[in-house]
Amino acid sequence: MELLIPLITSPLLWITIVVLYTLKKGIYFVPQNRGYVIYTLGKYDKTLSAGLNFIIPFIQSVEADRNLKEQSLDISSQTAITKDNITLALDGILFMKVTDAAAATNNITDYKLSVTQLAMTTMRNAIGSMELDECFQSRDTINAIILSAMTEATAPWGVMVTRYEIRDINPPQSIREDMEKQMTAEREKRSVILTAEGVKRASITEAEGLKAARVLDAEASKAEQVLNAEADKEKQILEATGKSEAIRLVANAEAAALSTIGEAAITQGGKAAVTLTLAQDTIAAHQAIAAQSTVVLTDGKTGDNVANTVAQAIAVSSSLKLPTIDTAAS
């Protein structure tokens, strides 16, 4: 104990303690994404950035340690009234970061609380300018309005709001029931419209099919008519050709017969045969006339002509050794 008393009372020891304490107060290792706000004799002096930093002990002090990372703040549920007087309960989440540690310390008391309150107020104002349907359909618009208003308001605080999102929008139970009824009616309406569209398309398709079938039938009928006409034409041509060929053959036969008869008629026997044939034809003609009527009118010379013809026929028949013509019939 006697040895410790001189050591404690030694000025060198106290000087060493004071120096070490002073060095400790004057040296700061600032972490990454942190900002130390330094006051000199109660007045803002500077902001220490990440790394090794020195300050003057007892004259300068670290007034605030600000987190420079992006942070998220929950916006608790609150009520807001829409333009068409519907009360909604909304909550959201806000993302922000400190861009100026000095401004966040010197220009605002509690920047997190202030940003939260500002977000709630701005959200109520944005909802109040819209109707209920717009609030549900335009969440992105509401978020953009809130973000724009807050960016301008928080700039002097050294805070930047990077994003705002509405999480839930809860209308009253009665409005919720009405919305469900409206949604059911909309679904039924869409179902009816789709059914009608399907029936319409089916009718159009059926009509187009009938039209195409009629066109095909007409084309087939036309083609059949064309083929029938061509067949009739070919038939008529063939028939005409056949008739023409038959007439030609008959004419050729008659011409050949006449040529033969003419050649035979030049001879003495041919002339006699012609005379005989004429006599026979004459007798046959008079027999036919007599069979048709009991009275025969002549010019008075007919009997002589007939007698002469018969006589010539008998003479020819005798010369040709043919059977004698029966004159009783005349």
For the stretch 104-116, pLDDT in tens is 999 998 999 999 9
Say what the pLDDT of residue 283 is: 73
pLDDT value at position 101? 93
* Identity of the residue numbered 10: S
Q: Which one is predicted more confidently, 33 or 180? A: 33
pLDDT tier for residue 314 given thresholds of 50, 70 and 90: low
Per-chain mean pLDDT for the chain = 81
Amino acid making up residue 28? Y
In the predicted structure, residue 328 carries a pLDDT above the cut 60: no
> CA-CA distance, 311 to 43, in Å (whole number)?
180
**Domain formed by 69-177, architecture:** 2-Layer Sandwich (3.30)
Report whether 13 contacts 33 (CB < 8 A): no
Q: What is the pTM of this model?
A: 0.52
pLDDT digits (tens, 9 = 90+) for 147-205: 999 988 999 999 999 999 998 888 888 888 887 888 888 888 888 999 898 899 988 98
pLDDT of residue 324: 43
Q: How many residues does the chain have?
A: 330
Domain residue limits, the chain: 4-66, 69-177, 202-264, 267-284+305-330
Residue 323 pLDDT: 46
pLDDT at 298: 52
What is the Cα–Cα distance from 219 to 271, expressed in whole angstroms?
70
Q: Is the CB of residue 78 less than 8 Å from the CB of residue 123?
A: yes
Q: What number of other Cβ atoms are within 10 A of residue 266's Cβ?
A: 9
pLDDT at residue 133, as a whole number: 84
316 vs 37, residue with greater confidence: 37
Please state, in angstroms and rounded to a whole number, the distance separating the CA atoms of residues 97 and 71.
6
